Structure 1
Amino acid sequence: MECKKVIIVEGKSDKRKVQPIIREPVDIICTNGTISLTKMDELIDELYEKDVYVLVDADDAGEKLRKQFKREMPEADHLYIDRAYREVATAPEQHLAVILAGANIDIYTEFLEKRMNL
């Protein structure tokens, strides 16, 4: 089954942090922090007609990557972590669950329940 939703993250640690939270089939693509114009063009073709979400770190490198996606893929949805956490990989799972659920991505609700039990 082909995934209709794609989340773009910076690194493998971000992917490992986000993947267990998501219940529905979603492709998670790692840019490894940067992306060449050639790779961006390939992604644009590959992700045509898919729901694309950009979830990058709240730091200079993440913002640079986000700007590139805003310019090259203006239809993508941008998800933001709280600046206090700086990195997707270090953000609490509950925080990420709230962000993902807010973007209509089906998540395992126990991650939200953990937040309410704090």
Structure 2
Amino acid sequence: MDTEKVIIVEGRTDLKKVQPILDDDVLIICTNGTIGIDKVEEIVDNYLLDEKDVYILVDEDDSGHKLRKQLNKELPHAINLYVDRSYREVATTPDRENASILVNANINIHPQYLKGFNEDGRN
């Protein structure tokens, strides 16, 4: 896939949660949890992430924080996206919340996922 936008998530359930929301040419990379520095470097090199718009969307828990820290070291240009701490995980965050996070990062989404939000993005 030759795309300029990349979203990095932790697990396959996160990928399955985010993918249907997208209406944009975006590659989703699944790390399968916390990874070592060698694996991070491999992902950066294999997907040419230094040349892409990279978004980090990981869980709000210890493993997500650790992964975010690792990714930010290798990808200082990455944009960090955050799910609300009350949901803790990307996979358990409601679709419209994930859609709002993505659209606020200028990633195109299918508009039906924002159903129920007012124009200011609030319920």
TM-score by length of 2: 0.89
Helix, strand or coil: the match of 1:83?
Answer: coil
Q: In the alignment, what sits opposite 2:36? A: 36
User: Which whole-Å CA distance do the structure 2 matches of 1:85 and 1:43 have between them?
Assistant: 27
- Equivalent of residue 109 in structure 2, options 104, 107, 110: 107
Residues 37 and 70, structure 2, Cα contact 8 Å, conserved in 1: no
Q: In the alignment, what sits opposite 2:58? A: 56
Mind listing any 5+ residue stretches in structure 1 that lack a counterpart? none
Helix, strand or coil: the match of 2:27?
Answer: strand
Residues 56 and 81, structure 2, Cα contact 8 Å, conserved in 1: yes
Please report the RMSD computed on the Cα atoms of aligned residues, expressed in angstroms: 1.3
Aligned pairs for 1:6-85 within 5 A? 6-45=6-45, 46=47, 47-85=49-87
- CA deviations 1:1-59 (Å, max 9, x no partner) are 61111000000000000000000111101111112222211222221211100000011
Mind listing any 5+ residue stretches in structure 2 that lack a counterpart? none
- CA deviations 1:53-108 (Å, max 9, x no partner) are 00000111101111111112111000000000000000000000000000000000
TM-score by length of 1: 0.93
Percent pairwise identity: 56
Residues 50 and 75, structure 2, Cα contact 8 Å, conserved in 1: no
Q: Aligned-pair distance for 1:114?
A: 3.5
**Residue correspondences, number:** 117
Runs of 4+ in 1 over 4 A off after TM superposition: none
